[in-house]
Amino acid sequence: MAEEKVQTFEIPKTCKAGVVVNEGPDFHVEVQDLPVPEIGPSDVLIKLNVTGICMSDLHFMLNDWAMPKMSVFGVKCAGHEGAGVIVKVGDQVKTLKPGMRAGYKPIQDTCGACEHCRSGDECYCAKAVTTGLMVDGSYKQYIVSPERYTTLIPDGVSDYIAGPIMCSASTIYTSIKESNLKPGDWAVFPGGGGGVGMQGVQLAKAMGLRAIAIDTGEDKRKLCIETAGAEHFIDFRKVENVAEEVVLICDGIGAHGVFVTAVQSYPTSLSLLGGRVGGKVMCIGLPPAGKHHIDVDPSALCFRKQSVTGTIVSSLADVDKTLEFARRGLLKPIYTVYPLSQFNEAVQKLKRGEIAGRAVVDFNQE
């Protein structure tokens, strides 16, 4: 039997990275050369071609969540939506090989032994290592990933789509799955024109739900309706009473599920359920500490069997499932690609809410 030829890659000493400078409210991202990291015996080294830019990255760099700073962990690079290729494996790696396409997710590793890890809920592991906060994230071209927690990217899914699937698309897939909505149910997306929301609209449609996007601006309306497949788009700047409009569209009753990615929508999210018995508000976006709370009247929840629940990022299984939607052509590419030189520009545009869909930085474009 012919021996399988293993691809070999030349690995440089240094690599390009988007480094957070002046961590805090006035941070910016600067492209610098950093050392290529060393891998352990059961790790793989991934050369990333692209990274998505997620709102969570901004919160880590702003340090406005109730969490330690990146610098406490010695971390310079945010990011957790990477897609690239394995270029080197540790000597105890059993199945992964150089040349395989791989992604880098919001969680770099878990303990693998606790009840959450053993029940498919490993993203809630108390010992989970948060990518881009506790270890360098996907804003760095070469990253280390443990073999047991590495996601492979199927052929037919481009890096530009695969990167954002590692967090935004899979995160909202998990939320839709956990909501237990049924085909034909109304799913409302406050923030539907953003990166997470727009992928949510597409997945909702693929899962048989009827999607309504809430956002503002003609570019977002067009993308939500024509590309993502929303049945309705409500522009909150043009509609006087958004909740009334939602109830009107949703059979005069209200939404079955509200998937909140725009954090400023939390205070009004319950009103979108109207009188829908069993309606659910699914919390996805993470607001700055102490902001955008939901005021819950328990009686209203009891009389209508309504609920408010949250999900965080996705398990390995749910990331694979979301990649499968993309492989089948059910997640369309809705992104803007930025070269390395515009890393900071892309991040600041997202901070100002000026990006429709997802922003992706290409490490191979100077």
Question: Residue range 310-315: average pLDDT?
Answer: 95
The residue whose two tokens read 């609209």 is: 201
Looking at the predicted structure, is the pLDDT value of residue 1 above 60? no
**Closest C-alpha among 40, 31, 37, 32 to residue 12:** 37
Looking at the predicted structure, is the pLDDT value of residue 200 above 70? yes
Q: Write down the number of H helices and E strands in the chain.
A: 10, 17
Contacts of 222 (CB under 8 A, 6+ apart): none
Query: Does the global pTM surpass 0.75?
Result: yes
Residue 306 carries which side chain, given as an amino acid letter? Answer: Q
Percent of the chain with pLDDT over 90: 88
Looking at the predicted structure, is the pLDDT value of residue 174 above 70? yes
Looking at the predicted structure, is the pLDDT value of residue 222 above 60? yes
For residue 2, what pLDDT is reported? Answer: 55
* Strand, coil or helix: 76: coil
User: 178: burial class by Cβ within 10 Å (0-12, 13-18, 19+)?
Assistant: middle
Contacts of 19 (CB under 8 A, 6+ apart): 29, 30, 31, 32, 34, 76, 77, 139
The chain-wide mean pLDDT, for the chain, equals 94
Question: Residue range 238-246: average pLDDT?
Answer: 97
Let me know: does 160 contact 337? Beta carbons within 8 Å.
yes
Looking at the predicted structure, is the pLDDT value of residue 3 above 70? no
How sure is the predictor about 354, in pLDDT bands with cuts at 50, 70 and 90?
confident
For residue 148, what pLDDT is reported? Answer: 95
How sure is the predictor about 347, in pLDDT bands with cuts at 50, 70 and 90?
very high
How sure is the predictor about 92, in pLDDT bands with cuts at 50, 70 and 90?
very high
**Tens-place pLDDT, residues 107-144:** 999 999 999 999 999 999 999 999 999 999 999 999 99
For residue 5, what pLDDT is reported? Answer: 75
- What are the strands, taking DSSP E only, across 90-216? 101-104, 107-109, 129-130, 142-146, 151-152, 186-190, 210-215
Strands 358-362 and 335-339: parallel
**Closest C-alpha among 104, 103, 123, 101 to residue 112:** 123
Percent of the chain with pLDDT over 70: 99
Let me know: does 273 contact 301? Beta carbons within 8 Å.
no
Contacts of 299 (CB under 8 A, 6+ apart): none
CA distance 141 to 77: 10
Which of 60-64, 265-269, 303-307 comes out lowest in average pLDDT? 60-64
For residue 4, what pLDDT is reported? Answer: 66
Question: Residue range 37-48: average pLDDT?
Answer: 98
**Tens-place pLDDT, residues 49-66:** 999 999 899 999 999 888
For residue 66, what pLDDT is reported? Answer: 86
Question: Residue range 232-249: average pLDDT?
Answer: 97
Residue 164 carries which side chain, given as an amino acid letter? Answer: P
Give Rg (Cα) of the chain. 21
Looking at the predicted structure, is the pLDDT value of residue 317 above 90? yes
CA distance 257 to 353: 24
Both tokens of 143, joined, read 């990253």
User: What's the chain's length in residues?
Assistant: 366
What's the CA angle centered on 215, arms 209 and 217, to 5 degrees?
Answer: 125
Both tokens of 134, joined, read 């506790």
Let me know: does 65 contact 288? Beta carbons within 8 Å.
yes
